[in-house]
A and B are shown apart, each in its own frame.
Chain A
Amino acid sequence: MSGTWTVLSVALVAWGLLFFYLVRLERRIKELERR
């Protein structure tokens, strides 16, 4: 069971990191489009 939680946690953290990277990227693109 602990293995399941470990892999799930890694998957969720990886998805979270990708999500926030994309949000930041979108914000940066918006800034560049405004210029």
Chain B
Amino acid sequence: MLLRMLLFAWIAAALIAGFLWAPLVPVLGDTTRVFYFHFPAALLTCVAFGWSTLHSVLYLARRDLAHDAQAAGAAELGLLFCVVATLSGSLWAKAMWGSYWNWDPRETSIFFLMLIYGAYLALRSAVDGEARRARLAAIYSCVAFVAVPFLIFVVPRLYFSLHPEPVLNARGKPDIDPRILLVAAAMFAGETALFAWMLALRVRVARLARAREGA
């Protein structure tokens, strides 16, 4: 419970720091704060989908359903963080660019990512039989993840984007106030711990459901 309370305090402190301590970017004004929700959620989406793929590969190698539960849980949570990143980005786009959706390369990429992982979950719910579902989902996940680095890192750099340069830009230096970066990093660390906790709960629920089905 101590770790949980620490996590609660960590994220609460990061939120307070983001609103009351970190400066505002002059061009962005008050909307600077959206960065603390949008950027960590987008980054965590990649981490979650990567974790899902790692466990899909492990499932295919070991045929252990515990890896399948990890892969499914991580994909679900990845999709959840993907929705958070999209909604926060959409609100930010309305404030800065005048429209909720602009088909900017990053917006298009995240839209395709949601479709790909939405299809993953649809596939899981459509296949009967634990082993068959796990095998097909693992294969799909491995193929789907090939698109992630392409959609997140390649496409936005190929076409004109309304998004600013990446935090780590071509000069290899973060072009952002260190206090803003620190709060965003703290939020990312906190959200990663939150992801790990939620994933552990999801895996335990899956184990309980399997035990009930077996009984």
Residues of the A chain whose Cβ atoms lie less than 8 Å from the Cβ of B201: 22, 25-26, 29
Instruction: Mark out the residues of chain A between 1 and 31 whose CB falls within 8 Å of any chain B CB in the assembled complex.
Output: 3-4, 7-8, 11-12, 15-16, 19, 22-23, 25-26, 29
- Report A-chain residues with C-beta under 8 Å of the C-beta of B4: 19, 23
Residue of B11, B33, B197, B204 touching A15 (CB-CB under 8 A): B11
Residues of A with C-beta under 8 A to B204: 29, 33
Q: What's the minimum C-beta distance from B129 to chain A, rounded to whole angstroms?
A: 25
Kindly identify which residue among B8, B33, B197, B208 contacts A7, using a CB–CB cutoff of 8 Å. Answer: B33
Q: How many contacts A-B (CB < 8 Å)?
A: 37
Interface SS of chain B: helix
Provide the main secondary structure of the chain A interface: helix
Binary contact track B110-151/A, C-beta < 8 Å → 1, others 0 = 000000000000000000000000000000000000000000
Contacting residues, chain B, for A12 (C-beta < 8 A): 12, 15-16
Shortest distance between the CB of A5 and any CB in chain B (Å) = 8
Pick the residue among B7, B11, B30, B205 that contacts A4 (CB under 8 A): B30
- Do the beta carbons of A19 and B8 come within 8 Å of each other? yes
Separation in Å of the A29 CB from the closest CB of chain B?
A: 5
Interface centre among A12, A19, A25 (most CB of B within 10 A): A19
Interface string of B187-215 (1 = CB under 8 A from A): 00000000001100100110010000000
How far apart sit A5 and B30, CA to CA, in the bound complex (Å)?
12
In the complex, B19 has a CB within 8 A of chain A: yes
With contact pairs A15-B11, A29-B204 given, residues A8 and B16 touching in the complex (Cβ less than 8 Å): yes
Please state if B8 and A8 are interface contacts (CB–CB under 8 Å). Answer: no
Which residues of A line the B interface, CB within 8 A? 3-4, 7-8, 11-12, 15-16, 19, 22-23, 25-26, 29, 32-33
